[in-house]
């Protein structure tokens, strides 16, 4: 009997901001979102703060330190991305071992894009808790990095995810004045005419309908992903108790549906 397909679990979205904006982020989020503390990443280049959602997904507001070496920043996966935008997004799985199923689907698909083996990462929380994980990012058949955001990366925990995303143990951090409860859907735009088989890659990621799970078993939402051609970008739609639109940062508007 064939093993069941591994459904990807939506983990988080990466929003790049300047370090100054991150230090002043409460002036944008007050009255809209409750902020959770983040920390400094192990590479010493970046720091973050989080917005935890009740469905277990989170928004990562990340910034490069102002004094980092410009060349080290340019070589970073996100070093050349546009500040004030959603630049990337991540799936996770119950265990790191489960990622082998995803890699096998890519091998079977025989397409010109794939994922790396897990690469160690981590950060230290302000309370001293050390977090460890591994990431898997997309590469083309020439082993060149695929543009961030056009395909999700994978964040696979090596310490308990609850330590990284305490949406259950610190549920007060998931209560937001704007009533947002979680992420209902994700749409990704990629430039037209690209040589990579991005649609084939998404087929391999999902192994069927383009739908995801979320960490919370009680969450709602459409849980659907769509792909289209256009100016590169990632758009998400929240669901919550108050339909409308929320401005997370100047120029970054996100719809809320019930």
CATH number, position 112 = 3.10.180.10
pLDDT digits (tens, 9 = 90+) for 199-227: 999 999 999 899 999 999 887 899 999 99
- Is residue 220 domain-resident? yes
pLDDT at 4 exceeding the cut of 60: no
- Is residue 3 domain-resident? no
- Is residue 247 domain-resident? yes
- Is residue 94 domain-resident? yes
Per-residue pLDDT, 5:
59
| DSSP letter string, 67-104 | TS-HHHHHHSTTTTSPTTEEEEEEEE-SSGGGHHHHHH
Q: Running DSSP on this structure, what letter comes out for residue 130?
A: E
Q: Which band of pLDDT confidence, cut at 50, 70 and 90, is reported for residue 82?
A: very high
pTM (two decimals): 0.95
Look up the domain containing 193 and give its range. Answer: 9-257
- Is residue 166 domain-resident? yes
Contacts of 71 (CB under 8 A, 6+ apart): none
pLDDT digits (tens, 9 = 90+) for 118-171: 999 988 888 899 999 999 999 999 999 999 999 999 999 999 999 999 999 999
pLDDT digits (tens, 9 = 90+) for 47-57: 999 999 999 99
Contacts within 8 Å (CB) and 24+ apart, 5-8 = 5/101, 5/207, 5/208, 6/93, 6/98, 6/101, 6/102, 6/207, 7/206, 7/211, 7/212, 7/213, 8/91, 8/92, 8/93, 8/102, 8/152, 8/205, 8/206, 8/212, 8/213
- For 143-180, letters b (16+ CB in 10 Å) and e give eeebbbbbbbbbbbbeeebeebbbbeeeeebbebebbb
- Is residue 4 domain-resident? no
Residue with tokens 């430039």: 191
The percent of residues above 90 in pLDDT, for the chain, comes to: 88
User: Contact, 9 vs 213, CB < 8 A?
Assistant: yes
- Is residue 2 domain-resident? no
Closest CA to 131 of 210, 221, 37, 54: 37
Contacts of 118 (CB under 8 A, 6+ apart): 96, 99, 134, 135, 136, 154, 156
- Is residue 212 domain-resident? yes
How many structural domains is the chain composed of?
A: 1
């Amino acid at each position: 009997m064939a093993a069941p397909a591994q459904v990807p679990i939506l983990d988080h979205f990466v929003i790049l901001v300047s370090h100054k904006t991150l230090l002043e982020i409460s002036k944008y989020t007050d009255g809209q979102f409750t902020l959770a503390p983040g920390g400094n990443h192990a590479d010493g280049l970046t720091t973050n703060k989080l917005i935890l959602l009740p469905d277990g997904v989170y928004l990562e507001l990340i910034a490069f330190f102002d004094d980092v070496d410009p060349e080290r920043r340019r070589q970073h996966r996100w070093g050349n991305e546009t500040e004030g935008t959603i630049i990337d997004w991540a799936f996770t799985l119950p265990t790191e071992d489960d990622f082998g199923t995803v890699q096998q689907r890519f091998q079977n698909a025989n397409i010109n894009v794939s994922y790396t083996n897990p690469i160690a990462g981590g950060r230290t929380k302000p309370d001293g808790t050390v977090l460890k994980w591994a990431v898997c990012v997309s590469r083309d058949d020439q082993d060149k990095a695929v543009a961030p955001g056009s395909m999700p990366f994978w964040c696979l925990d090596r310490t308990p995810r609850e330590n990284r995303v305490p949406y259950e143990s610190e549920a007060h951090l998931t209560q937001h004045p704007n009533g947002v409860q979680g992420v209902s859907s994700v749409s990704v735009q990629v430039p037209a005419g690209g040589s990579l088989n991005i649609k084939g890659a998404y087929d391999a990621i999902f192994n069927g309908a383009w739908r995801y799970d979320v960490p919370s078993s009680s969450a709602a939402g459409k849980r659907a992903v769509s792909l289209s051609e256009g100016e590169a970008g990632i758009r998400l739609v929240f669901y919550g108790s108050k339909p409308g639109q929320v401005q997370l940062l100047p120029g970054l508007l996100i719809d809320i549906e019930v």
